[in-house]
Amino acid sequence: MRKILLVTLILAFGFSVQAQQLISSNGPVVADYKLQLSPSDPIEAKIAKEVRHELLMLPWYSLFDDLEFGVQGRTVTLSGFVTGEHAVTKSDAENAVKRIEGVEKVINNIQVLPPSPLDTQVRAQAFHALTRTGSLSRYFWAAAPSIHIIVKNQRITLAGFVNTEGDKNLATLAVNGIPGVFGVTNQLRVVR
């Protein structure tokens, strides 16, 4: 089966990662910005690098969104989540990728989270809980934070990178204590 390059768009400030760069149908491998993306086709590698750059430059892309992309041949598949308040990010992402030299087709599977005052409140509370807990605030110092907070129907998903298993567990504890949260899924990856 052909391998597909899949990258989560998260800048992991200060991390050194040695991880697989290609994935199969078993699921995504999250790569940080320091990895050298090297699919077997150099054109795919060039496209992946450009797609990543264009998506990170989107004006409304924030720590409350989580974008991913896959490159297979000259086709780019976009996926992930964007907040309803900035739903334009979905179309902006597709339009930016379409303009990249070598891209012939863009499949846009980005989900727009429904606008909800309760979800907006939970996002803010989760951000404050994480930045005020132990040493977790350092993950938000970079221009593109290494922890992303996705909230849908008052359920929190944490995505991105942390340095230690302890930080990953601490992040779960921090957001579990937020009133009105119905569940927490911790998809943070520990990178050393």
Same domain, 9 and 102: yes
- pLDDT over 70 (residue 1): no
Task: In whole angstroms, give the CA distance from residue 22 to residue 11.
Answer: 18
Same domain, 138 and 163: yes
Same domain, 64 and 125: no
Same domain, 81 and 10: yes
3-state secondary structure of 79: strand
**Total domains, the chain:** 2
Same domain, 31 and 124: no
Same domain, 58 and 140: no
Same domain, 82 and 101: yes
- pLDDT over 90 (residue 27): no
CA distances from 150 to 57, 66, 147, 153, 188 (A): 19, 7, 10, 10, 12
What is the mean pLDDT of the segment spanning 97-119? Answer: 95
Q: What residues contact 172, with CB distance under 8 A and at least 6 apart?
A: 158, 184, 186
Task: Answer with the one of 54, 84, 112 that is the final residue of a domain.
Answer: 112
Separate counts of helices (H) and strands (E) for the chain: 4, 7
The torsion defined by the Cα of 98, 101, 103 and 109, in degrees rounded to 10, comes to -40
Q: Containing domain of residue 175, as a range?
A: 117-190
Task: Answer with the one of 112, 146, 176 that is the final residue of a domain.
Answer: 112
- pLDDT over 90 (residue 190): yes
What is the mean pLDDT of the segment spanning 5-30? Answer: 31
- pLDDT over 50 (residue 25): no
Same domain, 19 and 103: yes
Burial class (CB in 10 A: 0-12, 13-18, 19+), 160: buried
CATH number, domain of 160, equals: 3.30.300.130
Q: Which residue has the higher pLDDT, 89 or 85?
A: 89
Task: Answer with the one of 90, 112, 134 that is the final residue of a domain.
Answer: 112
- pLDDT over 90 (residue 159): yes
Task: Encode burial over 115-134: b for 16+ CB neighbours within 10 A, e otherwise.
Answer: ebeebeebbebbbebbbebe
Same domain, 92 and 170: no
What is the mean pLDDT of the segment spanning 59-70? Answer: 91
What is the mean pLDDT of the segment spanning 169-182? Answer: 94
